[in-house]
Structure 1
């Protein structure tokens, strides 16, 4: 179908719909002129009366719609303001800082071998060694480690981070044992 045919079909459909809406006599049968597109020449039957008088001048002074300006969009992202590393660290959410702190401590514990040791110890406890003399020594070691970790939280951050390495390693090791990891 070419563009001209498509346009004439569109106009024909529009004319039929208008006639159906404006028709007051519903008993009249459709004639071939009802299906003829507007731009095709029809046999002349005389002048076609208009419902409203046609004037050359528009009803209002200016018929043009006001032009809307399109919003301008940025083509590049705005640059972040310059700041020091300490200012950037202060803007990091506290939960993310906590996660980075303990994840790095657990990574060091993994490298040292404490995560594997705590996984093996969790498996040893799961085998039923809850009240043996070695278990009681491990309980005392755990209490001392947690006390050191809690006490060092307000010290200089490198010292506090070193005290967090065993605690984070044990937590990760026990979690890995619960997931079936056995080194």
Structure 2
């Protein structure tokens, strides 16, 4: 049969809990003698609203209190987003493998190739060729260069700081517009 007597650890824990006022046979906490002193107010809780007194609402002009605003966030209150560590570490390892110019060439060439596969190149090249046939070669060059500059200013400039995969996908329109302008042959 099993022994139902409490062990030494259980007895020790029971005595600690009794001293702290926990349990059915615990010692009640000592109450202070007599009523609270005059002017004593219990600590207000955070959910209770106390209307400000007239002294707090109307400070003298020469005695402005130097209190910080009540609802001002502390400096570390808002989290600062950052790139995950595994992306940073793999980026630093890849730098030694390829030169910066080679990486830039591969980055932009793959974005232009993706634009070609998606059919964006054919639309841009057709617009430049149509402008060159109906208006002038200079008009087609202005359309291609102006379109590339507009894409670079209004789209690509704002997406360069994104994570690498998203920034690459956002580079597709600019790389494809430059490719369409570079491959346009007005004499053909």
TM-score of the two chains, using structure 1 as the length reference = 0.42
Is the radius of gyration larger for structure 1 or structure 2? 1
Task: Indicate the structure whose relative CO is greater, using CA pairs within 8 Å and at least 6 residues apart.
Answer: 1
TM-score of the two chains, using structure 2 as the length reference = 0.41
